Homo-oligomer: A and B are copies of this chain.
């Protein structure tokens, strides 16, 4: 068998399954397929077809499939199943995925399904639905192993053995105080196995484990798991009782999801929830058109700004030739700076309080980069004139100087605006990643126009202007 490094071919898979269902050859194919693959395959076909397949396969497989985060349109498909099957599936799902699914259901379907759930599932659901979907509470599961503090290693292993098939992770066991349920420590299955069965768990457990609250942001949770190489982290309430755990597989999903969202925001659009191909044309249009329109409004200010310099322009048409070059350089340097700072803020490399350090650093960097581009710009103008490619008139060196000085100005402005906008957004409790490259570019464009013509009017006064 080849290493399975290929993730494509989902659509074909669905077609093959549908065909197989008709030709009664389904059994073999469905024995081989893994739930995540089937889940992704079902996401790419019509919900009606997906429902047909779900109704045809074993309940066990159907549960595994509906439990997959990758089954992007499962809420839609669920509505097409008959109600008994839908209830059975939702009842058997893992608590975290069930809550996730419910938050996407139409309110009609949710109201029909909820009273039909088992008591345990219903309770789990209402406690999980209280939390923000992007918080620790929103991605945690309530299935974890906890034991009291007087248990021996041997007993602990036995009780893990008994629930090995039910709990989402059995690799950590949480030790709680008998009377209060307060978290005392954590022991890994590794440590349990490495110790003598008659030892007390509380003597080998790790006290003061890393914990999060239910409202901790999911990115923060991801960072903690990554930093401390954990397979799960307990979510506690104000009394230090464990209300759930977040496992590393959910954190991987979070990271991959947030990565896409951050990229899309940086690219100047609202983040899309599904994959590109699964997002409808109109949804895509909405997520992109909104920002494009806002940015166009911003850019309209450049026209207003320029109209103030129309007279100068008419006397020195040559100035307009270098306008795109100058404002784009500002946008480019701003785009670099904003990316660097968004990243540093999002992984916790720097805090809000570091803004002044960043100002000083970016000022120096912006100045150096501006000087570099200024030299290039000046040389370009002068060289082209002297080489005879272009005739910039008798004051070509002044035009070169105007271009060079303006480049210093806009690059400096770009780095400063680009690096400070994420701080400003974070200060306002907004997502720093909204400081998109196009947004920074637009801000810088308007001021870039003003800088350019101001410098021109000083440098060229008495010659061209």
Contacts and interface: CB of A to CB of B under 8 A. Distances in A.
Interface of A: 1, 3-5, 7-8, 34, 36, 40, 70, 157, 160-161, 164-165, 170-171, 189-191, 193-194, 208, 210-213, 216, 220, 222-231, 236, 248-249, 251-253, 255-256, 259-260, 262-264, 266-269, 272, 275-277, 281, 284-285, 288-289, 291-293, 295-297, 299-300, 302-304, 306-307, 310, 313-314, 317-318, 320-325, 327-329, 331-333, 335-336, 338-344, 347-351, 354, 357, 361, 364-365, 368-369, 372-373, 376-377, 380, 390, 407, 411, 436-438, 441-442, 445, 449
B325 A281 contact: no
A373 B266 contact: no
Given A189-B171, A317-B317, A275 B349 contact: yes
Nearest to A322: B303
B445 A267 contact: no
Given A292-B411, A324-B306, A324-B324, A256 B255 contact: yes
B276 A248 contact: no
Contacts of A303: 321-322, 324-325, 380
Contact of A293 (B193, B263, B343, B372): B372
Given A5-B212, A190-B164, A323-B324, A267 B299 contact: no
Contacts of A438: 328, 331-332, 335-336, 437
B333 A288 contact: yes
Nearest to A256: B226
Contacts of A342: 263
Contacts of A321: 303, 306-307, 310
A166 to B, nearest CB: 10
19 contacts: A1-B208, A3-B210, A3-B211, A3-B216, A3-B236, A5-B212, A222-B252, A231-B231, A252-B255, A267-B335, A269-B340, A291-B336, A296-B325, A300-B380, A302-B324, A313-B320, A324-B324, A324-B327, A437-B438
B340 A324 contact: no
A259 B223 CA distance: 13
B193 A161 contact: yes
Contact of A253 (B226, B262, B357): B226
Nearest to A297: B376
Given A248-B252, A332-B268, A449-B324, A288 B5 contact: no
Contacts of A339: 263-264, 266-269
A3 B255 CA distance: 21
A332 B4 CA distance: 38
Max chain B Cβ within 10 angstroms of own Cβ: one of A36, A225, A252, A407 = A252
Nearest to A210: B4
Given A3-B212, A226-B256, A289-B369, 5 more contacts: A36-B227, A161-B194, A268-B437, A269-B336, A437-B438
Main secondary structure of the interface of A (DSSP, over half): helix
Contacts of A267: 266, 335-336, 338-340, 437
Given A328-B442, A372-B293, A194 B216 contact: no
Contact of A228 (B34, B285, B354, B372): B34
Interface centre among A220, A267, A348, A380 (most CB of B within 10 A): A267
A442 to B, nearest CB: 6
Contacts of A216: 3, 5
Given A264-B343, A268-B332, A276-B344, A285 B368 contact: yes
A252 B226 contact: yes
Given A193-B161, A263-B342, A292 B324 contact: no
Contacts of A259: 255, 259, 262, 343
A325 B350 contact: no
Nearest to A391: B307
Contacts of A304: 390
A314 B437 CA distance: 33
A380 B236 CA distance: 55
Contacts of A190: 164-165, 170-171
